[in-house]
Structure formats: C-alpha cells, structure tokens
C-alpha cells in the first residue's frame, strides 16, 4: 500500500547553511509519526516544504502518491495542517472560517461537515464568535476542525496541543486517534511534550541539524540508546547528537 | 480553476464587509466627498467662466471616472491586504488554491466593491449637480471598461509589491493613483504637458479615456482606434501584473518568505 506521505532526500539550503539535509521518511495510513528535535532542528522547515509554502533545494515530496512539485493543488487537496503559529483569521467567526476554508478545499456537503466538526470539537457554542476573541485553546480546536475539513489523507500537526489544558489535550489526542483509525489518514506530529509523543505516536523521527538521527518506536527507542525516558533521549539528541550517531 | 475556491475569496470579503462599518463605509464615503467637493467647484467655475462654458461633464465627469479607477485598484489591494493584516498567508497558500484562483477572487471582490462606489457617484452627480451620462453617449461604457482593466492591473501590481517588500510597503501603494494622475491628463489635455510627460501619458490607458471624454463633450472627433488601443494596453498590463505577482510569489516560496512574512525579509 502506498504511503500517504513520502519524503525523499529532502534538502533546503540557505547559502552555506543546510536547514534540512537529505531527509527521507514515509507516513503510512493509520499511522502517527512524531517528528521530534530541538528548536532549529529543521522540523518546521520540513513541514513548510510538505505544505508547498517553501520550495526544497532538492528532493521529492508526494502526498497520497501525488508529487507536490508537479501537481501542487491536487496534492494539497489531500493534505491539511494545524499549527500554533498559523491561527485562522481572528476577524471571522468560527463558522465563517470553516466555510471559507471548506470552499478552498472544495469539501462536499460542506454545511453538514461543518456541523459535525463543530460538535466533534465542542465548538457549537462558539459558532458565531469571532476567532480572535477565543482563548488560545479554543483557537487551537478551531484550527484542528479546519484541518479535518477535507478528511485529509496526510495531516500535519505542528505542536497541536501546545496551548491546551491537559484534559482538553487528552480529548483531542483521543479524537485524533479515532480519526486515524476511521479515515485511514496518516499524521506527521511535532511536539515537545514527550509524554504525549510516547502516548500517541507509532513511530518517531529524531531530527538534529537538519538530518534524521534516530528512528523507531517511542516506547522502546530510549532503552535501545541506554536512556530511561524519551525525554532523556530528546535531551541527548539536543546536546550530544554526535554521541548518539556513534552509538 | 475551481469556481468554489474563487468564491471562497469573495465570500471572505463579503463576510468582512458585512460585519465591519470600518470596511463598508469607505466604499462610498470618499467618493461622496469627492463628488460633492468637485461638484461645487464645478458649479463655481461655471458661474465665473464665460457664458456657455460648462465644466460639469469634463471636470466632474473626470473626477467620477478617476475615482472609479481608484476604487477598482483599491478593491483588489484591500482584499489582498486582508490576508496581510490577519497573517493568513500560511493558511491560504498551504491550501489547494491556485494563484490564478486567488487573483480571480481578488478581482471579483473588486468588481463588487467598486460597483457600489460607481453607483453612489452616478446618483449623487446626477441628482445634485445634474451630470447626465447622455452627454458621453455610448462611449461611457468603453471609458469605464478601460479604466476598470487598468485599475485591476494596478491593484494586482500593488499586491505584488507588498508581497515582495513586506507589510510596511502598504504605504507605497496608497499614493500610486496620485502619482499617475498628472500623466493621465485627468483634468487637462495631454498636450498641456511637457514632451517627456506626454511620452509617459501615451503608455497610460487612462490618458486615452480622458482625451476621449473631452473630445465627446467638445463635439470633436473621438478616436475609436485609440480607445481600442488603450483597452488592449490595459489588458496587456493585467497580463504583466499577473506575471509579476506570480514571479514574486514563486520567489517568496523559494526563499521561505511566505512562511515568515511578518519578518518582511528572510535575509
């Protein structure tokens, strides 16, 4: 079965600096892959290239088998994203934002899709509220609802629960788990919350200085590298990447 | 091209206009002020000029047409600025939206908003000052068409400038019509200008419209060929503006500016 997201030999060079340097990975249906790494490791650069808002220096990206450089619009119609740094316009209401983005993604039966997402993300009471006056957690839920509008094959979530309280974050994680199971979508998930990553991700990729340093099951990977927890492993990747490379 | 994606851009603009007096009132407020101000200036000039001279169709008519062009241009740029102001580039450009669809949405938004301004101007100019469209005959339609096309070209070009230089470059955009107007011969024949300015005028489609307007009013010959030429020129400028916007967009995707637009530059 073809992967929902395929990234091969991806590279982004700024002058002499390689922000992303030969990254390759795949995300399969019903799989949640964690993209981890310290600040500046190249996670957001990789996500921006997958979303078509940053042109790679070299390499290839395919969403659900469609090459994004050749068929950008068709490929992006099968993807969606939510990121803390990309809130929806605060001057539109929740419903208006979902309607505008539903049209942009050409969602069929849009009215009923919006209603079901308002229910799913507990946003019905904010339907006619401008997004700009919602709390950061509520805005995150609107962004997630927008990200689900087109039932994406590949979903990119950049720190999706960063501004949510623990109870809401748990509900959201459960909802995303259900979505993955029901709709056979694959998720690329970045987070600095290692507890969350261990709970939700089937596989993790550790990125350091633009390269994938480690890959594996988040539950077993720490022991394989003589670390007690995923957080210990993360700290080691951030501080001593060369030691891990040698191991 | 998907109509639904173009409709999304127009719908977003409709939602914003409907809910915000700060956006809706300017659609007709400034043109109302202009028509009233120039209407009375025209009335005064008629009273002091030699008998039989009527400035109404040349002066007030010119103001009306020039304001229409400005409204068309601003209709495109303001719809684009909404994405700048709300920092919405990442959401918009990471969607399946094509650049042609995005520009199509901006143009359709502009048609709707500039039509409001035009209707208000026509009603005020005829009801208060007695300006009759009949004085221009059937040529009024091609006059509007040429100015509309050139306004669209200016609007798309302005959006490209702001996309390239960052949000602060918005302040380069507002004076553009004022910079063009001396060359366009809005209030005087192009022959009044020094030679070098006349060369610039010939490259500007509005100059043919305002020369034509004076020709119609003074009973002189109006060059239909010149009007066709100006329409073709304006259409050509739209092509150049679309190419410019697309080039700037591609550069922004190559450099990463789209994703970090608030930084204004990635260097």
B95–A83 CB contact, under 8 Å: no
C-alpha distance from residue A192 to each of A31, A189, B77 (Å): 19, 10, 39
pLDDT band at residue B52, thresholds of 50, 70 and 90?
Answer: confident
Say if residue A210's pLDDT is above 80: yes
DSSP 3-state of B208: helix
Instruction: State pLDDT tens for residues B229-254.
Output: 999 999 999 999 999 999 999 999 99
The larger pLDDT score, comparing residue B156 to residue A244, is at B156
In terms of domains, do A49 and A69 share one?
yes
Compute φ and ψ for B194, nearest 5 degrees: -65, 160
Gap between the Cα atoms of B63 and B181, Å rounded: 11
In terms of domains, do A23 and A62 share one?
yes
Gap between the Cα atoms of A69 and B109, Å rounded: 30
- Neighboring chain B residues of A77 at a CB cutoff of 8 Å: 96
Expressed in angstroms, the distance from the first to the final Cα of chain A is 33
Nearest to A55 among B20, B254, B266 (CB): B254
Q: Exposed (0-12), middle (13-18) or buried (19+): which is B19, by Cβ within 10 Å? A: middle
pLDDT at B266 (0 to 100): 64
Domain boundary among A131, A151, A171: A151
Gap between the Cα atoms of B56 and B151, Å rounded: 24
B258–A89 CB contact, under 8 Å: no
Gap between the Cα atoms of A126 and B73, Å rounded: 36
Gap between the Cα atoms of B158 and B174, Å rounded: 9
Q: Which two tokens stand for residue A118?
A: 């308002």
In terms of domains, do A231 and A115 share one?
no
- Neighboring chain B residues of A103 at a CB cutoff of 8 Å: 4-5, 7-8, 11
Segments forming the whole domain that contains residue A140: 87-151
CA dihedral B105, B106, B108, B112 (to 10 degrees): 130
In terms of domains, do A171 and A64 share one?
yes
How, if at all, do strands A186-190 and A32-36 pair?
Answer: parallel
How, if at all, do strands A66-67 and A58-63 pair?
Answer: antiparallel
Nearest to A55 among B7, B86, B253 (CB): B253
pLDDT band at residue A172, thresholds of 50, 70 and 90?
Answer: confident
Pair B106, B155: CB distance under 8 Å: yes
Residues ≥6 apart with Cβ < 8 Å to B20: A91
Say if residue A242's pLDDT is above 90: no
B96–A76 CB contact, under 8 Å: yes
A91–B93 CB contact, under 8 Å: no
- If you average pLDDT over every residue of chain B, what do you get? 93
Across the A/B interface, how many CB contacts are shorter than 8 Å?
Answer: 86
Q: Which two tokens stand for residue A39?
A: 């600040």
pLDDT band at residue B159, thresholds of 50, 70 and 90?
Answer: very high
Say if residue A241's pLDDT is above 90: no
Q: In what order do the strands lie in the sheet with A154-158?
A: A79-83, A154-158, A186-190, A32-36, A203-208, A211-216
Say if residue A181's pLDDT is above 90: no
In terms of domains, do A202 and A235 share one?
yes
In terms of domains, do A118 and A223 share one?
no
In terms of domains, do A110 and A226 share one?
no
B90–A73 CB contact, under 8 Å: no
Residue A130 DSSP one-character state: B
pLDDT band at residue B162, thresholds of 50, 70 and 90?
Answer: very high
In terms of domains, do A186 and A237 share one?
yes
Is residue A27 within a helix (H) or strand (E), and if so which, with residue range?
A: strand A17-27
Number of alpha carbons in the 13 Å side-chain half-sphere of residue B61: 27
In terms of domains, do A180 and A62 share one?
yes
Residue A131 DSSP one-character state: G
Mean pLDDT in residue range A12-39: 94
Closest CA to B72 of B172, B17, B146: B146
Tally the domains of chain A: 2
A86–B98 CB contact, under 8 Å: no
In terms of domains, do A54 and A162 share one?
yes
Say if residue A246's pLDDT is above 60: no
- If you average pLDDT over every residue of chain A, what do you get? 92
At residue B217's C-alpha, the angle toward residues B67 and B54, to 5°, is 85
pLDDT at A165 (0 to 100): 85
In terms of domains, do A236 and A194 share one?
yes
Domain boundary among A151, A170, A198: A151
Nearest residue of chain B to residue A131 (CA atoms): B86
Instruction: State pLDDT tens for residues B39-48.
Output: 999 999 999 9
The larger pLDDT score, comparing residue B48 to residue A1, is at B48
pLDDT at A153 (0 to 100): 94
C-alpha distance from residue B44 to each of B38, B41, B56, B123, B200 (Å): 10, 5, 10, 21, 32
Pair A149, A101: CB distance under 8 Å: yes
Extract long-range pairs of A116-125: CB within 8 Å, 24+ residues apart.
Answer: A117/A145, A117/A148, A117/A149, A118/A94, A118/A145, A120/A145, A120/A148, A120/A175, A121/A145, A121/A175, A123/A94
Gap between the Cα atoms of A89 and A97, Å rounded: 7
Q: Exposed (0-12), middle (13-18) or buried (19+): which is A96, by Cβ within 10 Å? A: buried
Nearest residue of chain A to residue B10 (CA atoms): A100
How, if at all, do strands A154-158 and A79-83 pair?
Answer: parallel
Say if residue A245's pLDDT is above 70: no
The percentage of chain B sitting over the pLDDT mark of 70, rounded to a whole number, equals 98
pLDDT band at residue B174, thresholds of 50, 70 and 90?
Answer: very high
- Can you give the CATH number for the domain in which A65 is found? 3.40.50.300
In terms of domains, do A143 and A217 share one?
no
Gap between the Cα atoms of B113 and B13, Å rounded: 10
Q: Exposed (0-12), middle (13-18) or buried (19+): which is A47, by Cβ within 10 Å? A: buried
């Amino acid at each position: 079965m073809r992967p929902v997201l395929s990234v091969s030999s991806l590279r982004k060079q700024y002058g002499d600096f390689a922000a992303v340097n030969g990254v390759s990975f795949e995300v399969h249906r019903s799989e949640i892959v964690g993209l981890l790494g310290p600040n500046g490791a190249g996670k957001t650069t990789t996500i921006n290239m997958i979303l078509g808002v940053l042109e790679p220096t070299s390499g290839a990206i395919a969403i659900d088998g469609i090459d994004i450089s050749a068929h950008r619009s068709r490929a992006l119609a099968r993807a969606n994203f939510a990121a803390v740094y990309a809130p929806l316009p605060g001057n539109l209401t929740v419903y208006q934002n979902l309607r505008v983005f539903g049209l942009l993604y050409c969602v069929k039966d849009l009215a009923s899709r919006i209603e079901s997402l308002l229910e799913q993300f507990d946003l019905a009471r904010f339907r006619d509220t401008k997004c700009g006056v919602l709390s950061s957690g509520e805005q995150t839920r609107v962004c997630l609802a927008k990200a689900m509008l087109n039932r994406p094959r590949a979903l990119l979530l950049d720190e999706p629960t960063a501004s949510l309280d623990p109870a809401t974050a748990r509900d959201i994680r459960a909802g995303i788990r259900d979505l993955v199971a029901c709709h056979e979508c694959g998720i690329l998930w970045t987070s600095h919350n290692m507890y969350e990553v261990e709970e939700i991700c089937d596989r993790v990729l550790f990125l350091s200085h633009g390269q994938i340093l480690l890959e594996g099951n988040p539950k077993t990977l720490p022991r394989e590298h003589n670390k007690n927890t995923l957080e210990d492993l993360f700290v080691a990747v951030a501080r001593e990447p060369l030691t891990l490379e040698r191991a | 091209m998907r109509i639904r994606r173009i409709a999304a851009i127009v719908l977003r603009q409709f939602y914003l206009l409907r809910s915000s007096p700060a956006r809706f009132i300017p659609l007709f407020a400034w043109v109302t002020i202009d028509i009233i101000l120039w209407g009375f200036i025209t009335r005064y000039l008629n009273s002091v000029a030699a008998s039989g001279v009527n400035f109404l169709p040349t002066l007030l008519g010119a103001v009306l047409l020039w304001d229409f062009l400005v409204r068309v241009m601003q209709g495109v740029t303001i719809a684009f600025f909404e994405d700048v102001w709300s920092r919405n580039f990442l959401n918009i450009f990471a969607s399946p939206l094509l650049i042609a669809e995005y520009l199509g949405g901006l143009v359709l938004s502009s048609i709707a908003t500039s039509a409001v301004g035009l209707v208000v101007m026509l009603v005020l100019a005829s009801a208060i000052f007695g300006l009759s469209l009949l004085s221009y005959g059937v040529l009024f339609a091609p006059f509007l068409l040429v100015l509309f096309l050139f306004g669209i070209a200016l609007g798309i070009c302005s959006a490209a400038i702001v996309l390239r230089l960052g949000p602060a470059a918005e302040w380069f955009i507002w004076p553009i019509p004022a910079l063009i107007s001396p060359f366009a011969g809005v209030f005087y024949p192009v022959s009044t200008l020094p030679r070098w300015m006349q060369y610039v005028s010939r490259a500007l489609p509005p100059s043919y419209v305002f020369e034509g307007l004076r020709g119609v009013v003074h009973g002189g010959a109006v060059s239909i060929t010149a009007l066709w030429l100006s329409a073709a020129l304006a259409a050509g400028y739209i092509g150049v503006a679309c190419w410019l916007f697309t080039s700037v967009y591609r550069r922004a995707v190559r450099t990463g500016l789209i994703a970090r637009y608030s930084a204004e530059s990635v260097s």
